[in-house]
Amino acid sequence: MQTIFNTIKTIALKIDHAIKTEDLGYSNTENSSGEEQLKLDVKSDYIVEQAFMEVSIVKALVSEEKEGILEINKNGKYTICYDPLDGSSLADVNLSVGSIFGIYEGGLKGENLVASAYIVYGPRIELMVATKKGKPLHYRAQGEEFNLIGEVSLDQKGKLNAPGGTQQNWSSSHKNFIDDLFAKGYRLRYSGGMVPDLHQILLKGGGLFSYPGTSDKPEGKLRQLFEVIPFALMYEQAGGKAINSNGVRLLELIPEHPHDTTPCFFGSDYEIEALKKAYGVKA
Ligand code: P6P
């Protein structure tokens, strides 16, 4: 597994360089979700693919930017599902963006996730890695080295509220719940980039990140394999919770298609339990 994490460190440096030097314009291609790709999306995906080609324990790659499964090594052990540059459109307004990696052993479903990692490309390059043992580990790049900052834990109750999705398309119960958190003094922290938004809540002790099912996107927007399940491991290992709108743990999801999405809620214990009550989910 360490080989995979070391490869992700190499990827981080290369994608960060691409963000800072490459053309931020649109390519004339679309990803498998029909979204127009930035040249940076294509370049970042290429960087990830080339890096893992050299890693013998990697069996296959599944990219948010492409259809299908890319077989790397039939004797490999792990399938890596990744979003090479999440929130890439934020790069051209100089906001932080990120890469997300889910490392699966066996079929592509939540219970087979054995580790996850994400990179934040911001004022500094930061890396978070999680396995099923212990707390997530937070690293910060200094030049080409990644220094361990420490373990990450969520408080039982936080102060930050990151409400995703178009508000006019929220259900009334979701809107009432979000408004109630603000009425209790929670502070709005939402950039539109899942990686920096979830990273901030993890590092600032907790709160809630929500991307619900909406009238325009009943199954939510965020992808199960590449985005949601990897972050669910991070939040649970940090002492928090990660569920869907039925109260099911995101780590128990079994996507029918690699690009399936899901409503998703990540946060400290208090906020998730409050959300379950608001959604009428049995405790
Ligand atoms: P909305 C970025 O496009 C992304 O996939 C996630 O990084 C982010 O959390 C979400 O979409 C933002 O979506 O609908 O709130 O703008």
Note the pLDDT tens digit of each residue in 72-109.
999 999 999 999 999 999 999 999 999 999 999 999 99
54 Cα to the center of ligand 1, angstroms: 31
166 Cα to the center of ligand 1, angstroms: 10
Q: Calculate mean pLDDT across residues 246-256.
A: 98
Per-residue pLDDT tens digits for 164-181: 999 999 999 999 999 999
83 Cα to the center of ligand 1, angstroms: 13
pLDDT at res. 33: 76
Q: Calculate mean pLDDT across residues 4-14.
A: 98
For residues 253 and 244, the answer to whether their CB atoms sit within 8 Å is yes
pLDDT at res. 28: 82
pTM, 2 dp: 0.96
In percent, the amount of the chain with pLDDT more than 70 equals 100
pLDDT at res. 26: 79
Cβ neighbors of 207 (< 8 A, separation 6 or more) are 158, 159, 160, 161, 162, 186, 189, 201, 267, 268, 271
- Written as six digits, the tokens of 247 are 């109260």
For residues 36 and 26, the answer to whether their CB atoms sit within 8 Å is yes
Per-residue pLDDT tens digits for 28-82: 888 777 777 778 999 999 999 999 999 999 999 999 999 999 999 999 999 999 9
List, in order of start, the domains of the chain with CATH numbers: 2-151 (3.30.540.10), 160-279 (3.40.190.80)
Q: Calculate mean pLDDT across residues 241-270.
A: 98
Nearest CA to ligand 1 atom 10: 192
For residues 274 and 264, the answer to whether their CB atoms sit within 8 Å is no
For residues 41 and 65, the answer to whether their CB atoms sit within 8 Å is yes
89 Cα to the center of ligand 1, angstroms: 10
Mutate to test the pocket of ligand 1, among 221, 265, 266 (most ligand atoms within 8 A of CB): 221
Give the integer Cα–Cα distance in Å for 261 and 211. Answer: 11
Nearest CA to ligand 1 atom 3: 87
pLDDT at res. 38: 79
Residue with tokens 């900052």: 149
Mutate to test the pocket of ligand 1, among 64, 200, 222, 231 (most ligand atoms within 8 A of CB): 222
What is the residue-averaged pLDDT of the chain?
96
